[in-house]
Amino acid sequence: MHNIVIMLKKIICMRYIQLDFIRGVAIVLMVIFHISFDLNNFHFISIDIYNQHSKDWFYFRMLILSLFMLSVGISLSLTHEKGIDLKKALKRFYMLALASSAISIASYVTFPHTWIYFGVIHFVTVASLILLPFTKVPKVAFILGSGIVVLFNMGLIDMHWFFQQSASFLHLPHHTEDLVPFTPWLGVVLIGIFLGAKKLFLFPLKENRFTTNISFLGKHSLAIYLLHQPLFFGLIAGVDYLVH
């Protein structure tokens, strides 16, 4: 009996290590992306960050978003695997809504003509609430999520029109520094819910200094997400001021 308890504890520990590691990798890649954006914005480097002539940065951003959205789905599934905890879900919703508002305000101050009104955290705020029922039907989540991703890549569904119409109606910027549309990303979160329910994210992961440090970043992913860009943008802006 004692050995069974130890084994269960290891499985639980491994679960969170895997999830934190996925988030941590996404955080590292995101920081690289944002530092590159900042350096490009102040003309220290010249890269096609807006993907006008090259898809390299487009695919890099897609990879980062995919890791984040899969981890959102996995986390939803794990949090509510014993039944939907509405109190916990609402608490998370209010926290993310506050973080989203802070991002919008900060981006408006920095980029008044291209401020962020529906970026990564805004999307996660909405998706974490509206996709909550699918935590009880993970197979349906997988079928629907896969369908959304496949149909999007076939060019048959695209929700960009929703934001274009909303931007005109609400007088929002037609170009924004960060936009995460519902397709295909709702589909990716739904697939994550399935992966979490079936524990398919538990890939072999050896615990060492490297994986522990990456997992640490994953545990604090929201705080890092909110703080890293103002910090790096401010530092690079300061260097730009001193140089020029």
Cβ contacts of residue 60 below 8 Å, gap of 6+?
A: 29, 33
Of 137, 75, 126, give the one whose Cα is nearest residue 96.
126
Determine the straight-line distance between the first and last CA of the chain, rounded to whole angstroms: 69
Q: Are 217 and 24 in contact (CB under 8 A)?
A: yes
- Count of C-beta atoms within a 10 Å radius of residue 171: 7
Give the integer Cα–Cα distance in Å for 93 and 2: 39
What's the pLDDT score for residue 5? Answer: 41
Q: What are phi and psi of 179, to 5 degrees?
A: -140, 125
Structure tokens at 177: 């520094």
What's the pLDDT score for residue 169? Answer: 83
What's the pLDDT score for residue 53? Answer: 66
What's the pLDDT score for residue 52? Answer: 60
Q: What are phi and psi of 52, to 5 degrees?
A: -75, -35
Q: What is the DSSP letter of 179?
A: B
Each of the 244 residues of the chain gets a pLDDT tens digit; together they read: 444 444 444 444 445 799 999 999 999 999 999 999 999 999 899 888 877 666 888 899 999 999 999 999 999 999 999 999 999 999 999 999 999 999 999 999 999 999 999 999 999 999 999 999 999 999 999 999 999 999 999 999 988 888 888 888 888 888 899 999 999 999 999 999 999 999 999 998 888 999 999 999 999 999 999 999 999 999 999 999 998 7
Burial class (CB in 10 A: 0-12, 13-18, 19+), 175: exposed
Structure tokens at 77: 């599934």
What's the pLDDT score for residue 60? Answer: 93
Give the integer Cα–Cα distance in Å for 72 and 190: 9
Give the integer Cα–Cα distance in Å for 147 and 143: 6
Q: Is 176 helix (H, G, I), strand (E, B) or coil?
A: coil
Q: Is 118 helix (H, G, I), strand (E, B) or coil?
A: strand
Q: What are phi and psi of 189, to 5 degrees?
A: -65, -40
Give the integer Cα–Cα distance in Å for 149 and 155: 10
Of 100, 62, 84, give the one whose Cα is nearest residue 137.
84
